Amino acid sequence: MKCALDTSKTLALISHIHSCAEEYLCTELKKKGLPELSTSHGFILYNLSVFEKLTMGEIATKINRDKSTATVLVKKLINLNLVETKSCTKDSRVKYVSLSEKGKQFTDATAEISANLLKKCYKGFSSKDAENLTSYLLCVANNFDSE
């Protein structure tokens, strides 16, 4: 006999998962020598390791934060000498953010943390189950984004 799921607790469950993932990421960042960083900082470093250079707007989109929040996060990374900025040659209003030499030292660490988080998330899932979960969560996100 299947147990009925209480769908009224879906958002609470999503919030719980988010908190657990954030706690896991903070712990792992500390283990890798990045104790002063939040998960958003780690995600910025990870994205810069994948895309090499990004504008502030691109960073904001990738970490799902507004531009002003992304700017504050990047400033902390600049102060820690993990990233650097360079003005666009065609439009000086546009600044590109990239990893500094010090920041590049953590590329493997952020990639490993990201991969381990995904393994933890999808442990026991078939690839189809993982695809379905992502599809359902995208639908939920789109319901909020469409308003």
pLDDT (average), residues 126-136: 95
The pLDDT-based confidence of 2 (bands split at 50, 70, 90) is low
Cα(97)–Cα(138) distance, rounded to whole angstroms? 28
What pLDDT sits at residue 115?
Answer: 92
Tens-digit pLDDT profile for residues 79-130: 999 999 999 888 888 899 999 999 998 888 888 998 999 999 999 999 999 9
Q: How would you classify residue 70: left for phi > 0, otherwise alpha for psi between -120 and 50, otherwise beta?
A: alpha
- The tokens for 141 are 């996100």
Residue 13, pLDDT > 80, answer yes
What pLDDT sits at residue 3?
Answer: 60
What's this model's pTM, rounded to 2 decimal places? 0.76
Tens-digit pLDDT profile for residues 32-59: 888 788 889 988 999 999 999 999 999 9
Q: Which residue has the tokens 């988010």?
A: 18
